[in-house]
Amino acid sequence: MLSALLWLLPVDATFLDADLELTPFGYFPKDCIRRVPEGSYVRQRTDGAVEVVRGDEVEVQHPKPHCVEHANKTLGARSVVRDGWLDYVEHYTPTDTYLGFFEGTYTIPDSPPAGMDGQTLFYFIGTENLGAEKGRDFLSTTILQPVLTWGNGHRDWNMASWNCCPAGEPTTSDFLTGLEAGTTAYGNITVDYDSDSATVVSSYSGKDVTLTITGELRTFNWMDVTLEVYTVDSCADFAASDATIDKMSSKDQDGKALVPVWKDATGSTSCSGSQTYTTTSWTDHHSTSFLATE
């Protein structure tokens, strides 16, 4: 068993059954996960409802009380347990400065020595709207992120664009699958405050999956680069090589260069876990020896 403790988006025990599905925001009831096909976009309304727009078709989805309740419980606290945000760096933008663009190139790491062992690894750049007090209002906080994933229902490395949680429901694009170790993928986040819209793009081998969100947009003042894990029971469940996200760049709401001053938010973690980073590059390392315990 791993001896280090991780930060978790906690799981509601009443949902610990087949009706749960893992997302980059923790476990959610399956009927709370919104999948948006390529070519569609999500429009948020002032009454809390969400519209999924496909050409001339508009599907209105009203908040489901159990989804809102679950999102509030799941995102409202992080407790010290095994699953969750294991390694991450963070940056708050200066006062009255908001993120307008954030990009990075992901190098796909080697598969874990343990193979598909039931574990899930999420790697991503992301941005959130945190209040002036630098805390979280979980009824209005949202995160945008292009996510590289090991597992979670797929038999290989995969990638998708995510947003959590309009109307209490995680929203995802289609998935890119079959990503190969040693190759690169790309992700970016664009926020246009003038048009009240945001896009999250994940790209691999000439293919893109895009998630577009409009209406009731927040002002994004927090950035992160993260490894989030679930059901990692041994060091051999981690990627067999370092994971790197580099060529990172960002701009503010006026298109001016935004230079993050990253802060290590987690320190040394399980299986000799460590992060090395510069303004433009982040590398995550874990020992994968079957004998390693911390």
> How do residues 231-290 score in pLDDT, each as one tens digit?
998 999 999 999 999 999 999 999 999 999 999 999 999 899 999 999 999 999 999 975
- 290 inside domain: no
Number of DSSP helices (H) and strands (E) in the chain, helices first: 1, 23
- 294 inside domain: no
Supply φ then ψ for residue 15, to 5 degrees.
Answer: -110, 10
Domain CATH number, residue 109: 2.60.120
- pLDDT given for residue 103 in this prediction: 99
Q: What residues make up the domain containing 194?
A: 6-285
* CA atoms of 2 and 10, how far apart (whole Å): 18
- 291 inside domain: no
Number of domains present in the structure of the chain: 1
- pLDDT given for residue 1 in this prediction: 28
> How do residues 164-191 score in pLDDT, each as one tens digit?
876 677 899 999 999 999 999 999 999 9
What DSSP character marks residue 24? B
Supply φ then ψ for residue 73, to 5 degrees.
Answer: -70, -45
- 292 inside domain: no
Q: Hunting for tokens 């999924």 — which residue is that?
A: 52
- pLDDT given for residue 131 in this prediction: 67
- Which of left, alpha, beta for 125 (phi over 0: left; psi -120 to 50: alpha)? beta
For the chain, list residues with pLDDT below 50.
Answer: 1-16, 77-81, 132-138, 291-294
Q: β-strands 41-44, 207-214: how paired?
A: parallel
- 1 inside domain: no
- 176 inside domain: yes
User: Is residue 236 a contact partner of residue 2, using CB atoms and an 8 Å limit?
Assistant: no
* CA atoms of 175 and 196, how far apart (whole Å): 25
